[in-house]
Structures are given as C-alpha cells and as structure tokens.
C-alpha cells in the first residue's frame, strides 16, 4: 500500500502564517503538522512509501524538511507545478497526478496534510482488510455549523455509505467525514474517469458521492480528537487539543 498526502493548497485563510510557509509545516505542540501525521503513518506495516504532493511555491520547503527528518519509510515529494491558488489543480487532480507520475498500481491510503487526529490508523487498516472494500472514515460531530463545512454521510447498519454530501446546507446526519480514505487498486482508474467526465477536482470528498454510484464504499467510524486546520481559529484550537 502507498500513502498519498495532499499538501498542494495555498492556505490563504491562514495568511500571514502561510504566505511563506506551507500549512503542513506549521507547528502544533512543538512538532510540525506533517510530523504528527507521518508518525501516525509510520506504524503501518502495510505502507512502504509516503508521497507528499505539493505546489511549486512550497516544493523546496518540503524537500528541505524531509531531507532532515528521520523516518523509517521512503518519502517522495512531488511538485504539481502550480504557482498560485488561482491555478491550483485541486485535491482529486493532485491525487491523479501522483498516481500517473509514480505509476501507482496498488491500494492507496489518502490523507490531507492539514488534519490532526488521535485515533490509530492501524484500526482503519484492520477495518479495510476485513471489509475488502474502499473505505472512508467518519466521526460524530454535534456542531451543526461545523457539519456544514465538511463532508457528511448517511450509512446503514453494516457501515455501508448510503449518501455523501460535501458542505451540505442541511446536514442529513451528524457523521462528519475527514479526508482519510483507502482506495483499492481496482478503484484507481475511476479517479481518472471521474476527472475525465468533468467532475469537481477540488475537495477530496467530492469523489465519494460519485464513487458510491459505481461501487460499495464502507465507513470506519472512529472516536477521539480530530482537527481540520484551515483558519487561524482552528489552528489555535489545534494548539490546545494537540499540545
């Protein structure tokens, strides 16, 4: 299994903190956000390589940081060649970029480079291996305004996804979906197909409602802390939760 970390955004809502530094390299509790995530991935025996996809502005920052980071798995940083927020590829197009550039033909663990969490990724891998299906993650969120800013799902008693809506005006459940997914290698051609028919390439969750019309997708429901760092306020919250 390969892991792909999506870190090619420009984090304009975090300016001035991210004008000259990628969001993933901001520090929380004395460690970069990226280190927090990589340490969570490091314990996964099934993952042998981590790809970090970023943009041209921050490519050298990631290369310099990873060159000095002691890690047990191979890390490859890729430059998607974009230079500004206005011409960014979007997370799903970045995912396809990595698959194409690296010729990936195996299962992939897809994660955003700006989400901190407390659950153990080994539990997600175990759930995936048990179901043998594409898997996404979800957790209960009781804040209706936060639900309106994330992906929200409905699922059945077997944890199969029934519906998925990105940033819904009227959330149908309290199950929020962070950007932690596992896609089977057989699903990878569908990402290209999704983009080829003109679907939204931006937020990674946009692929899910399209995918569930093609094949079953299952949900690993986790408990614990999770913080999506997208604003100054959420960055300050992360400092309190993950110090």
Alpha helix stretches (DSSP H) within 106-231: 121-131, 144-147, 188-196, 207-211
d(CA 113, CA 164) in angstroms, rounded, equals 22
196, two tokens: 């080829």
Judged on CB neighbours under 10 Å (0-12, 13-18, 19+), 68 is exposed
Q: Is the peptide bond before 16 cis (omega within 30 degrees of 0)?
A: yes
Reading the chain (243 residues) residue by residue, the pLDDT tens digits are: 999 999 999 999 999 999 999 999 999 999 999 999 999 999 999 999 999 999 999 999 999 999 999 999 999 999 999 999 888 999 999 999 999 999 999 999 999 999 999 999 999 999 999 999 999 999 999 989 889 988 999 999 999 999 999 889 999 999 999 999 999 999 999 999 999 999 999 889 899 999 999 999 999 999 999 999 999 999 999 999 998
Nearest to 94 by CA among 73, 71, 112, 115: 112
Kind plus residue range of the DSSP H or E element containing 238: helix 232-241
49, two tokens: 């390589």
Q: What's the whole-model pTM score?
A: 0.95
């Amino acid at each position: 299994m390969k892991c792909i970390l999506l870190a090619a955004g420009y984090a304009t809502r975090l300016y001035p903190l991210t004008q000259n530094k990628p969001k993933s390299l901001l520090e929380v509790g004395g460690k970069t956000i990226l280190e927090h995530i990589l340490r969570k991935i490091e314990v996964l025996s099934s993952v042998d390589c981590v790809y970090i996809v970023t943009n041209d502005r921050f490519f050298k920052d990631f290369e310099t940081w990873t060159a000095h980071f002691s890690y047990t798995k191979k890390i490859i940083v890729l430059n998607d060649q974009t230079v500004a927020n206005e011409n960014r590829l979007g997370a799903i197009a970045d995912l396809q970029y990595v698959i194409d550039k690296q010729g990936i033909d195996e299962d992939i663990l897809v994660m955003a480079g700006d989400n901190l969490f407390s659950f153990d990724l080994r539990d997600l891998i175990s759930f995936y291996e048990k179901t043998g299906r594409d898997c996404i993650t979800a957790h209960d969120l009781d804040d209706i305004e936060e639900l309106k800013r994330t992906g929200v799902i409905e699922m059945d008693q077997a944890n199969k996804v029934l519906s998925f809506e990105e940033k819904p005006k009227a959330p149908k459940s309290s199950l929020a979906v962070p950007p932690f997914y596992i896609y089977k290698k057989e699903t990878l051609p569908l990402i290209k197909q999704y983009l080829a028919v003109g679907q939204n390439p931006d937020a990674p969750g946009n692929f899910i409602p399209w995918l569930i019309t093609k094949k079953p997708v299952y949900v690993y429901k986790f408990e614990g802390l999770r913080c999506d760092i997208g604003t100054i306020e959420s960055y300050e919250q992360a400092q309190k939760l993950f110090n």
